[in-house]
Amino acid sequence: MDEFGLYPREEPFDPLGVMLFKALQVISLMFFIVLLAVSPDSKDGKIDSKAEFIITMDWPDSHPDDLDLFVQDPVGNIVWYRHREAGFLTLDRDDRGGGNDFVVVNGRKIPSPIREEIVTVRGIVPGEYTVNVSHFQATTAQPVEATVKVQKLNPTAQVIFDDKLTLDHTGEEKTALRFSLDAEGKVIDVQHRQKSLLETFHNERNNGADLDPKTRVRMPRRE
């Protein structure tokens, strides 16, 4: 039956072709390894972020009290839970404490133990920034310790402030720090002098209007 070509025939052995094929395999493998090894030049501590500074305030996990972070920029913009964007300031996370702090998983609300508020500074305005913490609601009748941290992100990550403060009653407000920037965004001064930001809103009410000082919209009670 072989004379009819029904069985496969062995091709003549070509050593040169085999060597060329093996060489091509080796070159392809080396090229692939080089591609894996090549990566963009990076430096330790380099941060690729749109934010210039990040300000965080946290307190003990699962704590029922509600603390709030207030930040004011050099031109008077104030970011807080009723005004989450002001100038280059953005309140990225508002934490309600035990009042309404949940995450939704598969359609179910699950209590979140994390107690943290985050403000980002997305542009440079030279001058003084004020970072305050307010005790919005005290439910335990016990002092609560909050940690405030300010990090400069560009060109490399740098912690410029990391300290604790204690609040013990509803309505208490404390200044964690006041830091100043030059035109290039370099921190040139850090102070701890107290300054009330809530007083700004009280002054608006005394002038006959319960208004947000930036949006000029009447401020409803927080639910």
Q: Is pLDDT larger for residue 184 or for residue 205?
A: 184
Q: What is the CATH number that goes with domain 53-206?
A: 2.60.60.30
Quote the pLDDT of residue 112. 78
Question: Which range, of 32-36, 60-64, 199-203, averages the lowest pLDDT?
Answer: 32-36
CA dist 21 and 32 (Å) reads 17
What tens digit of pLDDT does each residue of 95-129 get?
887 656 666 777 887 777 889 999 999 999 999 99
* Adjacency order of strands within the sheet including 173-181: 78-79, 66-72, 127-137, 173-181, 187-191
Q: Is pLDDT larger for residue 174 or for residue 6?
A: 174
DSSP 12: P
Question: Which range, of 49-53, 114-118, 139-143, averages the lowest pLDDT?
Answer: 49-53
CB atoms within 10 A of CB 43: 7
Q: Is 80 exceeded by the pLDDT of residue 205? A: no
Contact, 66 vs 94, CB < 8 A?
no
Q: Is pLDDT larger for residue 16 or for residue 200?
A: 200
> Comparing C-alpha atoms, which of 68, 87, 73, 200 is closest to residue 130?
73
User: How would you label 71-104 residue by residue, b for 16+ Cβ within 10 Å and e otherwise?
Assistant: bbbeeebbbbbbbeebbbbbbeebbbbeeebeee
Quote the pLDDT of residue 213. 43
- What the block records as the tokens of 95 is 């934490």
Quote the pLDDT of residue 122. 97
Contact, 120 vs 86, CB < 8 A?
no
Quote the pLDDT of residue 220. 42
pLDDT tier at 136, thresholds 50, 70, 90: very high
Dihedral sign (CA 164, 151, 180, 216)? negative
Quote the pLDDT of residue 185. 95
The pTM score is 0.68
Average pLDDT taken over every residue of the chain: 80
Q: Is pLDDT larger for residue 139 or for residue 39?
A: 139
Quote the pLDDT of residue 105. 74
Mean pLDDT value of segment 55-71: 95
- What the block records as the tokens of 13 is 């052995």
For the chain, give the percent of residues with pLDDT over 70.
65
Quote the pLDDT of residue 25. 65
